[in-house]
A and B are shown apart, each in its own frame.
Chain A
Amino acid sequence: MPVLRASALTFSYGPEPLINGLGFELRSGDFMCVLGPNGSGKSTLLKLLTGYIRGASGSVHIAGEDVFGIGTRELARLVAYVPSETSTPYDFTAREMVLLGRTARSGFWRGYSAADEEAADRAMEETGITRFAGRSVNSLSTGERQLAFIAQALAQEARVLLMDEPTSHLDLKYKSAVMALLAGLVSKRMAVAVVLHEPALARLGCNKALLMERGGGYSFGPVPELLTAQRLARVYGLPENSPLLPK
């Protein structure tokens, strides 16, 4: 059974369709990149998948259940979502931030259980942020902060991880580190969908690709077949011999 299935999703903010009849399936162990030019609806798609944005026609099923039939708490145990940037005016420490990933797994008023603390410590180890556990997230660099929010999502122990441009503000080293981290999660039977700006990053472990076009068109399939220079050139509006495209 696919852990995440979208079928015939159609959505628009205005008269022009942004997403038109889109459908795909992810199973445990799938690592999908979502590519497409600016304004093709990549970020909107992620929020439609979690039911945060309403008003789309079509359906999204998570672990076999319609997303709108799942309560918010239950949903957070199934799907974790990391926006491209999260900020807070308050100086939460990195560890407190990661612990907030346990919101859906502990009662609203109780303190954190030993299992919560363990999950947070494990998530910080996996993302390599243990050394600044006690520092305020606002004092971290952009890359470090992004890792803290990835750790928060890991502490959620969800089955699906959705990430919106996790690498957009990062240097090459952090980019490859984040992709390697995600590939590691996939090997542990998680399903990951990640919005990327650079098609080249898809080669760092993605097995599926969703290529979105402006105006609602899309294609979905395995990475090697789908991400050809020819198709990417057409979707991004680049000449086929552009050095930005894979050879």
Chain B
Amino acid sequence: MERNKVLLLFAVLAAACLFSLAAGPAGWSNADVILNLRLPRTLAALAVGAGLGLAGALFQGVLKNPLSDPYILGTSSGATAAAVFCFLAGIERTSPVFFLAVFAGAFGATFLSYWLARLAGRLSDASLVLAGVAVSAFLSALVMLTLTSVRERSFSLLYFVLGGLYSVQPGVLIASSLIIAAAGAAAMLRWRALDAMALGEEKAYHLGAEPGRERIIFFALACAATSAAVAIGGTIGFVGLMTPHIVRLLTKPSARTLIPASAVGGAALLAAADAAGRSLFSPAEVPAGVIMALAGAPFFMWLLWKNSRGTA
């Protein structure tokens, strides 16, 4: 990537951070609000956005499918369902058991979607999306069923499920950030295998990458990043879908630049979306997940339209 494109990417990130630090009824006037409320929240948005952007780039590459992202594949729903059950079981958000359970939920849901799509015969872009939708819908229904039957705490859990960045525990933020950074670094070490997978499994095999192994590795990394993001902010959709597409306009499609750029781009996108949710409808506050869905759903429709006219 050329130097001015790197600069542009970081300028966008800086602008999103400034927006996020300034957004709110009090504006720039109250240093206390900025430091104690908006700064942690901005950091949370950056971490969640980076994790989801990274996961989107990995899924889109390893599945050779531009429509995939952790939300559409059911990864986020699996993580959210596991998180809700952990809360109800009294497992603390900072405990390693919590992170392991959330990861297991994410990984299980993703492989279930993948396996269902494979059952339908040849793995096509559409069958993967359909399978993901089915898995997500089922898991969300399970979560809703659980929330309506356990009355106590259900309101705060509902906010978690809807996806928002209200109250962030420093311990969770630090643990999640470390997981996302580690997943990103591990993915960078295999960028060439991810590029080979973007040509399809058959081509990847003949170029010297073992498709079955690469799929498990990149699913695991994407699920780790997604579950770390979900641990902070619940289900926030479309960051993983949109970010790599936007970033590809700036960088080349090669994973070598796409992986880091998607993490940075996702961070900027979610910080801006969260700030927009706080300021556009002030004094009411719209969750970042809702803002992302408002922007992301039309984007997804545009992608579908573009794909249907594409060369494939």
The chain A residues found within 8 Å of chain B, CB to CB, are 47, 50, 52, 72-73, 75-77, 79-81, 83, 86-93, 96, 100-101, 103-104, 106-109, 111, 138, 156
With A88-B200, A103-B196: A156-B252 Cβ-Cβ less than 8 Å: no
Q: How near does chain A come to B252, taking the closest CB pair, in angstroms?
A: 7
The verdict on B146 contacting chain A, using a C-beta distance below 8 Å, is no
Query: Which of A88, A89, A111 gathers the greatest number of chain B CB atoms within 10 Å?
Result: A89
- Beyond the given pairs A103-B196, A138-B310, 7 more chain A to chain B contacts, judged by CB atoms under 8 angstroms and listed by A's residue number, are A50-B205, A72-B208, A73-B208, A75-B208, A76-B208, A90-B198, A109-B190
The verdict on B175 contacting chain A, using a C-beta distance below 8 Å, is no
Considering the complex, give the chain A residue whose CB is closest to the CB of B190: A108
Q: How near does chain B come to A46, taking the closest CB pair, in angstroms?
A: 10
Considering the complex, give the chain A residue whose CB is closest to the CB of B66: A89
The verdict on B4 contacting chain A, using a C-beta distance below 8 Å, is no
Contact of B248 among A47, A91, A138 (CB under 8 A): A91
User: Once the chains are docked, how many angstroms separate the CA of A83 from the CA of B198?
Assistant: 15
The verdict on B209 contacting chain A, using a C-beta distance below 8 Å, is yes
The verdict on B151 contacting chain A, using a C-beta distance below 8 Å, is no
User: What residues of A have a CB within 8 angstroms of the CB of B252 in the complex?
Assistant: 92-93, 96
Question: How many B residues are at the interface, by size bracket?
Answer: 20 to 34
The verdict on B199 contacting chain A, using a C-beta distance below 8 Å, is yes
Query: Which of B208, B248, B252 gathers the greatest number of chain A CB atoms within 10 Å?
Result: B208
Q: Which of B214-257 contact A (CB under 8 A)?
A: 248, 252-254, 256
With A96-B252, A108-B192: A86-B205 Cβ-Cβ less than 8 Å: no
Whether B206 pairs with A50 at a CB distance below 8 angstroms is yes
User: What residues of B have a CB within 8 angstroms of the CB of A138 in the complex?
Assistant: 310-311
Whether A103 pairs with B248 at a CB distance below 8 angstroms is no
Whether B200 pairs with A86 at a CB distance below 8 angstroms is yes
Whether B208 pairs with A52 at a CB distance below 8 angstroms is no
Q: Which of B12-46 contact A (CB under 8 A)?
A: none
User: What residues of B have a CB within 8 angstroms of the CB of A111 in the complex?
Assistant: 256
User: Once the chains are docked, how many angstroms separate the CA of A107 from the CA of B192?
Assistant: 8
Considering the complex, give the chain A residue whose CB is closest to the CB of B253: A90
The verdict on B64 contacting chain A, using a C-beta distance below 8 Å, is yes
User: What residues of A have a CB within 8 angstroms of the CB of B144 in the complex?
Assistant: none
User: Once the chains are docked, how many angstroms separate the CA of A138 from the CA of B210?
Assistant: 25
Whether A81 pairs with B206 at a CB distance below 8 angstroms is yes
With A73-B208, A89-B64, A103-B208: A108-B203 Cβ-Cβ less than 8 Å: no
